[in-house]
Amino acid sequence: METEFESRLLMRGAAPLSRTMSIAWSRIDGSARRRFAVIGILSIVSGVLPGAQVYAVGALVSSVVDSADYRGYLVWAIVFGVVVFVKYVLENIIKFLGDVLTLRLSYDIEIDAVQRLGDMEVQNFESSKTYDIIQRVDESTGEHVYGLFDTLRSAIQALLSLLSICAVLWQWSPVIASMLLVAPIPGCVATFRVQTRAYDIEYKRATKARLAGYLRGLLMSDSAKKETRLFRLDELFTNSYSSIKKNFLRQDIGLARFALLQAGGLGAASVLASFGAVVYAAIIAGVHNRVGELAGFISATTQVGPLVLAAFIGFTGIYQHLLYVSNWAALVDTQPARIAEGAFRGPSDGRGGSVEFRNVSFRYPGTDVLALNDVSFSIDSGSITAFVGINGCGKSTICKLLLRFYEPDEGEIFVDGRPIGELSREYLYSWSSALFQDFVKYERSLRDNIEYGYPRDRGTADDERLWDSLEAVGLRDWAMSLPERLNTMLGRHFEGGHQPSIGQWQRIAAARALVKKPRLLVLDEPTASVDAVSEKILFEAMAALGGETTVVLVSHRFATVAHADRIIVIDDGAVVGVGGHADLMEDCAHYRDMYDAQGLQSR
């Protein structure tokens, strides 16, 4: 059973090990590689010193026994001291260089991972495959990258030390040398078994551990607290969490018992075998009067066990690091979905903003259902166009394609008469803006919250512009009443934060969308959280943009929708009606049904 598992472990690790190590190596810069080289050379020197140390012990004791003159053994005492001291110095230098390298790699790799995440397209975060990889990369990856190389280095150094000791012992007695080398093996097998079992437990519990982490996160989340309290989910989640943890506890205690049994069996066999080797060496020494060699054997006994273990376990310990590093390597190795960049950078101050979808069809990656099926429509520049339809009909998908978060599978999208793929996204985003239904509540100052919507290449937005945006969304008076006005921190996570209501948060997000005075404004359910008065204010803000800004509005509120210049009705990924409110009430049964349903609900 164990053997089968161990071989599975090696199989599982061997292929990713070489791939992961080559990825890690390719990401390490020249100076870090030089540091690795220096550490490697010092490790080789330090690796052969234990042999010299054992030899010096033997020679020292022999010279004490054989020579009456202290000068005879003083030389060996000095040699012994120098060997011990040089090893001490080398080990400390290796440790220092290793620590510095760990810190540097941790920094480099953490920044590299963060940059990769920042650089990813929206669609990667909406794909469970990539999202899974993203979730598994944590801040400790850098330490494990060095750990991966360092474990290998330590194992090789331990092997060198063993060879050097072996070379010395062999000259004295091949039989005792063999006994000493073989003695630690059962103990190593025991440790290997315990480690592989621990690794296997960790590997198998990864999914449950993630679930436990998720439940814990829900229990700690301020946004989830109301629901968890109301639906008594806190109790349910706490029970699930503790049941997972109890299971882990049971496994860990079982592992501790297994470790004790292994130590008591194979581990004890090693101790007894070493003891046997020393007794045998003592007998030989007594018979042949080779006290120096006996001292060398005893000195070697204390070193050989840990060295065999380090060499043996070092190679298995690599898998522990591999578990972490492979997540990061998978991130590096992932070919995230990319949106091709267009070259057109256009006149930055030019107005416009007309949009056309021509026979656009689209499936989300990894699905076979058409989210949009042969969709065609056109939107005049400066107009307000509303999209309506039941949940899941494809309205948000139209917004995502228009903002180039995805590319259509078929058909083409034109902006100002030009295929959208020809526009550079930097250019497109410099004059378009959006307010999403899942807008972000940045727990930063009110100023930051609005300024985040202002293009960085235009510098910082002046206060007047920020106040204008607040005015447009009806928040000027509220902002004036805040303790530090624009500089007031928002949210509860940082000290001194002021918590806006959800509707205020949404209007702040609207101010952020408006601050750049966009030519194209996509509003994906912008009024979901606001009251009727605020909705009117928001709509007036949109209308005030009229002529200057093309507004694409997704909304379920017919009171808002009815004011749009044109309404496009979507059903099951297809356009089923286009026109003004009055026309659609006449001609489009689907629109009329939705309108009536909302009228009934509100009565």
Ligand X SMILES: Nc1ncnc2c1ncn2[C@@H]1O[C@H](COP(=O)(O)OP(=O)(O)OP(=O)(O)O)[C@@H](O)[C@H]1O
Positions touching ligand X (CB under 6 A) are 126, 364, 367, 371, 389, 391-397
Q: Whole-number minimum distance, CB 501 to ligand X, in Å?
A: 22
What is the DSSP secondary-structure string of 447-510? HHHHHTTS-GGG-PPPHHHHHHHHHHTT-HHHHHTSTTGGG-BBSSSSTT-B---HHHHHHHHH
Q: Whole-number minimum distance, CB 403 to ligand X, in Å?
A: 13
Q: Whole-number minimum distance, CB 572 to ligand X, in Å?
A: 9
Q: Looking at beta carbons only, is 91 or 126 nearer to ligand X?
A: 126
The two structure tokens encoding residue 206? 């990864």
Q: Whole-number minimum distance, CB 201 to ligand X, in Å?
A: 34
φ, ψ for residue 576, nearest 5 deg:
-120, 0
Q: Whole-number minimum distance, CB 493 to ligand X, in Å?
A: 28
> What's the alpha-carbon Rg for the chain, to the nearest Å?
35
Candidates 141, 43, 146, 138; CA nearest to 102 is: 146
Residue count of the chain: 603
Q: Looking at beta carbons only, is 405 or 429 nearer to ligand X?
A: 405
Q: Whole-number minimum distance, CB 331 to ligand X, in Å?
A: 20
Rounded to whole angstroms, the Cα distance separating 204 from 208 reads 8
Check residue 127 and give left, alpha or beta (phi > 0: left; psi -120 to 50: alpha): beta
Q: Looking at beta carbons only, is 540 or 571 nearer to ligand X?
A: 571
Q: Whole-number minimum distance, CB 364 to ligand X, in Å?
A: 3
Whether the Cβ atoms of residue 511 and residue 454 lie closer than 8 Å to each other: no
What residue has token string 């408006």? 514
Candidates 391, 389, 397, 396; CA nearest to 571 is: 389
Rounded to whole angstroms, the Cα distance separating 388 from 396 reads 10
Q: What is the DSSP letter of 267?
A: I
**Helix or strand holding residue 523 (H, E):** strand 520-524
Q: Looking at beta carbons only, is 392 or 547 nearer to ligand X?
A: 392
Q: Whole-number minimum distance, CB 127 to ligand X, in Å?
A: 7
Q: Whole-number minimum distance, CB 510 to ligand X, in Å?
A: 18
Q: Looking at beta carbons only, is 123 or 151 nearer to ligand X?
A: 123
Whether the Cβ atoms of residue 417 and residue 597 lie closer than 8 Å to each other: no
Q: Whole-number minimum distance, CB 126 to ligand X, in Å?
A: 4
Q: Looking at beta carbons only, is 106 or 396 nearer to ligand X?
A: 396
> Quick one: 366 exposed, middle or buried, by C-beta within 10 A (0-12, 13-18, 19+)?
exposed
Q: Whole-number minimum distance, CB 523 to ligand X, in Å?
A: 12
Rounded to whole angstroms, the Cα distance separating 199 from 251 reads 12
DSSP helix/strand/coil, 376: strand
DSSP helix/strand/coil, 4: helix
Q: Whole-number minimum distance, CB 397 to ligand X, in Å?
A: 3
What is the DSSP secondary-structure string of 148-177? HHHHHHHHHHHHHHHHHHHHHHHHH-HHHH
Q: Looking at beta carbons only, is 38 or 117 nearer to ligand X?
A: 117
Q: Whole-number minimum distance, CB 537 to ligand X, in Å?
A: 23
The two structure tokens encoding residue 262? 């292994």
Q: Looking at beta carbons only, is 176 or 375 nearer to ligand X?
A: 375
Rounded to whole angstroms, the Cα distance separating 493 from 496 reads 9
Q: Looking at beta carbons only, is 41 or 440 nearer to ligand X?
A: 440
Q: Whole-number minimum distance, CB 240 to ligand X, in Å?
A: 27
Q: Looking at beta carbons only, is 292 or 394 nearer to ligand X?
A: 394
Q: Looking at beta carbons only, is 85 or 131 nearer to ligand X?
A: 131
Rounded to whole angstroms, the Cα distance separating 517 from 453 reads 10
Q: Looking at beta carbons only, is 128 or 335 nearer to ligand X?
A: 128
Q: Whole-number minimum distance, CB 552 to ligand X, in Å?
A: 12
355-363 and 370-379 beta bridge pairing: antiparallel
DSSP helix/strand/coil, 384: strand
Q: Looking at beta carbons only, is 312 or 591 nearer to ligand X?
A: 591
DSSP helix/strand/coil, 355: strand
Rounded to whole angstroms, the Cα distance separating 532 from 503 reads 11
Q: Looking at beta carbons only, is 13 or 389 nearer to ligand X?
A: 389
Neighbours of 145 (CB within 10 A): 29
Q: Looking at beta carbons only, is 394 or 526 nearer to ligand X?
A: 394
Rounded to whole angstroms, the Cα distance separating 386 from 566 reads 6
Which string of b and e fits 406-429 if b means at least 16 CB within 10 Å? Answer: bbbeebebbbbeeebbebebebbb
